[in-house]
Each structure stands twice: as structure tokens, then as C-alpha cells.
Structure 1
């Protein structure tokens, strides 16, 4: 990956541009992205379909040629520092109690207590689901041209902020995503890899999944593109 490795940064960070406080989220997301990019490194044109047309081959190769390697990390954000402290407390409870059977029983028996009100046994009401939404911000830093990237030690000079938004992420957005992926598997099987265990990005990247999601209430937006002052 061109340029110096990014610093781990502060444990708690204030992203002024998007108005959020954030803390590192120890989820599988970063590993999945790294596996996608690793597979792409081994297969620069992406994974060939089981019986794809020449037009699809050209489309796949053009798509993956535009994807650059990247360092990737995930943080969870809140509008206030107090919200971040709440996230940390819940993480501590889950980390400590989830390591043994007695602790797991406590978590399952008193979810509202140990999640500080975020989760409850009965789950959300229909009204709560309908009123909820999700928002993911992506803050990317890189180079405006190849010559800068090739210098190795030069810091990134360009920042792009994008955003994905949609309805409630667990009960509404996730089924939308799964159904659209399934429809692609059914309708575009010849254009997809023959089989195997792959991260979703390397399989669905060149397909029309993003357009399908946009048609079903999940939006992808470029928020800003700016130069990073040295």
C-alpha cells in the first residue's frame, strides 16, 4: 500500500468534519475488508465467473482496476463524549461477562441492565423499528496522483468523505441486503465465481448490488472531497 502506514490514533477521537466522537469497534468488518483486498491482490482482475460473457469479463476487469489497496479500520460514533463512554462501559460488561457461562447467563437474563438500556428481552417495538435508521461514514485519505503515491514516505494529500444511510440496520436493512444478494445469485449465477468461501466484496463488487440497494432505500453519497493541508 503506497505511503506510510497510518497511526493507530487516539483511543477516543473527535471527527469534527462529521460532528462525531468515535472509539475503535472490535468487529469483524476490518478483517472482511482486508480479506477482500488480499484476494484482489492475488487476483487483480477479480474472480472469474463460472460462465461469464466477454462483456461481463470486461466490466469486471474495469471495476477492479479502479479499486486501490487501503488500510481499513472501523469505529463506532456518537454525537457526545458521554455516548462514547456509554459504549465503552457496555463493551467492558460484554468483555468481562461473556468469557464464562455464569456471566453469559447474566447478560441474557438482564440485557437492559448490562447494555445500559440499549437492549431488552422483548426486543424493539414496531414503532421503534420504523423510526430507527443507520448512518455509516467513510473517511478516506489518499493521494491525488500516482507520482505522490510512488514517493513512499509522502503523507496523503486528499481526503474523501462518503456516507451510507438507510432504515433500521438489524430488522430492516439487513434483510434488504440479504434478499438483494440472493436475487443476484439467482439471476447472475454465470457471472459469479464457481464456488468457494469468499468475502462478499470480492463476489458482489462488480455486480449491480449497489444500484439494487439504492432502489430499496439504502443511499450511497459522496459528502466531500478536499485537500489535506500539510
Structure 2
């Protein structure tokens, strides 16, 4: 007789992010009544990790052993994959999950990986009745679902949304704010950035309707009325994830796509100058093999002390806060078809905000597990009975936003103006 599947198995549980997901799983299992287990290469380390809890199954699975991955997937309803960089380690787990008819969620912030998986595995996942959902961490749940929240509160038709991310720390703890794994993913993401053009030409074959007025990027450095400080283009995956969600909602529901631009705000021009220098050196070195070796060998030096192999301290993470402010511009009335054009200029503006604490790791653990929970409990509200999706498209009609509002994230309306 086959063993009953666990609700969630955390793969890569002994890693920096995985350990936080384990702690959050222990909390949620009591509140939500879920069954869970951990998986990874070393049994003794896994057993030590979950020694604080009783009867937590430990599954040995190695990325180099395809059969072990399949057996792991067969033990779970959902695999919460914490093993990155995903461009190297994600595809094998996705394949095993599809073969075992097991859902898959991860915290990738790597556009090339996410779009490749959508291109190559969407059909197979849909046929298997399996959801494969990436970007379920800080990249990019707050941004993508924040846009969904904003659209839901707009009461009209949104033409464009600009997002402004701001972070700060209230602790006295010094040291790094990022773990080496996050740095490694970024290094290879920049190194292979040129892959995106070809990927997107294959993935996005249907043209979107012409959207007017066109949302143009703001100046490289600018001030915004909705985000105090100096802002510049945000280089993360939030915009690419949001645009995939908008495209999917247009293709499946014929909803007018929202134009999106993403920015990050700093308190001073000096901060932007320092970040620009670090970013410039990083981008240049990441293009060459010898440069990547330097970046990976000396992460603390090349990140200006922001990254370490040990990662941020508990005190630093607890003192970390963020907010994303959303400026939506559009019309108070909707047109019948997404291809129809408004004759009048936009006449409505809505400002919303999403905020929280410990975004990089603690909040990421929460959003990852709630992504798994939505699949387990509200799959009937998700599209297509399976497939590869970004989180906004996957969870738009579920209670994800309401649940996260009770578990570390705050979604709120700041102001609404009709002209």
C-alpha cells in the first residue's frame, strides 16, 4: 500500500532560506493542519534540523540522482523548492514533479529560468494537472500581488502602475544583509541576461493590444511625489514577473493589460552613487568567466559588505522592513473590449502600499508556504487546472492576499483621486 502523500515537502531544507521555511512550516502546521517533511542530500543534517519537532519525515534526495528526486516528489502533494540558483538546480526538480504529478513552488528571482520553464514545461504541467509557480518569495509576491490588489481596488480601468520599493533597517546590527546564495543567483542572472530576448520571442508569440497613453520610464535618477528620497530603476525581477502575469490575464480573460514600471528609492544621492558604482563593477565582471570567479570568491568585497556566506544575522533580519508604493493611473469607467481605446485622457489615480518585515528570508518563507497552501486548498480558483504561472496570475482569484494580510504583509489603500 502506497504511503499517503505529505502536503508539503521542503527541498533544500538545510540551506539558509530552507531553514527559515522549516521554522515557518512548524508554525503553520499547527494553525493550518498541514503535514510536511524535509528533503536534501544529508540525512543526519536533516534529522538534526527537525529534531525540535516530532515525527517530521526526512527524505534523502540528491540533484545528481534523478530517481531520488522522483521518489521525493512522489511523497508530496507540493514540493517547496529552496535549492538555488534555479538556473542550475531547478529544472531537474520541476521534471520530477511533473512526472510524479506533484505541484512545485519556489522562490526564484531569475527571469531566464522562470521564462524557460514556462516555455518548455507549461504544456506538460497542464497535461499532468500540476502547478509550477516560481517567484513565490520577496521576489515577487509583494509586487505582483500588490498590482493585483491595486487593480481590484481601482474600481475602473487601470492603464499603468508605477511601483516604488523602499527598504530600511531599525536594528543596530551591522554586517551583511544578503546571503551568498542570493548573490550567486544575481551573478549568473546578469551573465546570461542576453538569453531573455530569444526566450521571449518564442514564449510571447501573441501581440498585446496597443496601450495608450504609453507609460514611459522616468529619468535614471528622479524624485517621486509618492516615495520620499531619490529613485532609480529597480533591476530585480518584479517587472518581468508582473508583465508575464498581465499577459496571461489578457490571453485567458481578455483583460486589458496594465503597463508596469518598477523603481527603488534611496534616501540620498550618495547612496545611489555608491550603489551605481557597485552595480557597474558587478555588471561588468559578471559578463566574463574570470570576473564571475572573482565575484563568487569575494562576495563581501564586491558587494561593499552587503553579502556574506553566513548571511544576515537574526537581529538584522528582524530589523529589516520594506514598503512598495503603487501609483495606478487610469479611468473611472471600463471599456467593453481590451482592444478598445479611451477617447479621454486618464481621469483617476489610486495609491496603494504593501509593507512588511524581514522581506528577504522570513517573509519569503511565509509567502512560499502560503503559495503551496493556495494550491492545496483553492486550486479550483486557479487557472487551467495546471501549468506554469507567475504568482499574480496563479493566485489572483484565491484568498492569498487576505491570508498574507494576517501573516506578515499589509496591503492597504493610501489615497484615491478622480479628476
Smaller-chain TM-score range?
A: 0.7 to 0.9
Which 4+ residue blocks in structure 1 deviate beyond 6 angstroms? none
Which residue does 1:169 correspond to in 2?
A: 359
Normalised by the size of structure 2, how large is the TM-score? 0.46
Q: Confirm or deny that 1:159 pairs with 2:368.
A: no
Give structure 1 stretches of 5+ with no counterpart. 46-66
- What is aligned with 2:385? 194
Once residues 146 and 217 of structure 1 are traced to their aligned partners in structure 2, the CA distance between those partners, rounded to angstroms, is: 33
Aligned pairs (5 A) from 1:138-157: 138-146=326-334, 150-151=342-343, 154-157=344-347
Q: Work out whether 1:131 is the aligned partner of 2:319.
A: yes
Contact 2:295–2:302 (CA<8 Å) still a contact in 1? yes
Cα distance change on mapping 1:115 and 1:163 into 2, 3 Å: same
Uncovered stretches (5+) of structure 2, i.e. residues with no partner: 1-209, 336-340
Alpha carbons 1:2, 1:150 under 8 Å: kept: no
Is the Cα–Cα contact under 8 Å of residues 226 and 325 in structure 2 kept in the other structure? Answer: no
Partner residue of 1:221?
A: 412
Aligned residues: 204
Contact 1:3 1:156 in 2 (8 A): no
Q: Give TM-score scaled by structure 1 length.
A: 0.80
2:152 — aligned with what?
none
Cα 1:223/1:172, change in 2 over 3 Å: same
- 1:28 aligned partner: 237
Alpha-carbon RMSD = 2.1
Give the direction of change, closer, same or farther, for the CA distance of 1:80–1:157 in structure 2 (3 Å limit).
farther
Equivalence map 1:1-230=2 (5 Å): 2-44=211-253, 68-146=256-334, 150-151=342-343, 154-192=344-382, 193-227=384-418
Q: Residue 159 of structure 1 aligns to a residue in which SS?
A: strand
Q: Alpha carbons of 1:124 and 1:227: their partners in 2 closer, same or farther (altered >3 Å)?
A: same
> Does the residue aligned with 1:19 lie in a helix, a strand or coil?
strand
